[in-house]
Amino acid sequence: MIDNIRVGKKLVDLVTPKVMSILNCTPDSFYKGSRIDSVSDALFRAEKHINEGADILDIGGYSSRPGADEVSENEELKRIISVIESIHKAFPEILISCDTFRGKVACEALEAGAHLINDISGGEIDPSILKVVSNFQCPYILMHSKGTPQTMQNLTNYNSIFKEVVTYFSQKLNVLQKLGINDVILDPGFGFAKTLDQNYDLFNRVADLQFLGRPMLVGISRKSMIYNKLKITPEESLSGTTVLHTKAILSGAKILRVHDTKEAKQVIQLIMNN
């Protein structure tokens, strides 16, 4: 099992799991509390997340929730590049991830100060993103999904969700290796092209994905697999999120992608110090 990623000349140790905090530069992300509408707001939120223990900030300008509206490339760039530049300048020690599936956006984000690329599509929507990652030799978060945010919820037919995800990751890792992309983090893609039951079937087998030998990112914070299961709202889903974060860490997850930094950090501290 690889328990680190290389960021430039720095080796980031993942033996103790890390917290990736979400900064959504979007007006329509499913959780209202994560939305950011200006650079000053982004800097304020970034500082709050950092003070609460964030290890990585994940910045995105295209809501990937099921059924989200299409966002042009220019609009996505407009939303995030100045935010990345400003956060990198104000907090040079924090790792910045850019949440995008577009090659041009990834390139400009990395030039602006981002360190990782978080791609929901595995290079399927815009294959040029893989060349960008290879050229920059940056860590790449490979997520399992199908289709686009507009079509994904119609693409949930699987004989076995676990076998499908394993096959997908295995094939993609071979492709990435041939491109010289070595620092790869796997994300099972909870909520992406998966039904409620499929999400839990896969979540209950996160530990079994460890044989792939790559660090695992789990992103379940306040998602529909929690609030639909409990018949509540995203705003009421922190307790459920904390329960699943606990199980994810016990199952071997190395990164939690979260809205609530302090609570996720506490989960890690309690489990790792026990």
Would you name the residues annotated as active-site residues?
223, 257
Q: CB-based contacts of 234: which residues, under 8 Å, 6+ apart?
A: 30, 31, 32, 222, 223, 227
DSSP state of 145: -
Instruction: Using the structure block, give the residue that is written with the tokens 């680190």.
Output: 4
Query: What values do phi and psi take at 28, rounded to 5?
Result: -130, 15
How far the first Cα of the chain sits from its last, in Å, is 22
Between CA 142 and CA 204 the distance in angstroms is: 20
Q: CB-based contacts of 2: which residues, under 8 Å, 6+ apart?
A: 213, 214, 215
Q: Do the strands 95-99 and 116-119 form a parallel or antiparallel pair, or are they unpaired?
A: parallel
Are 56 and 23 in contact by the 8 Å Cβ rule? The answer is no
DSSP state of 159: S
Between CA 32 and CA 234 the distance in angstroms is: 9
Between CA 183 and CA 97 the distance in angstroms is: 14
The residue length of the chain stands at 274
How many other CB atoms are there within 10 angstroms of residue 171's CB atom? Answer: 11
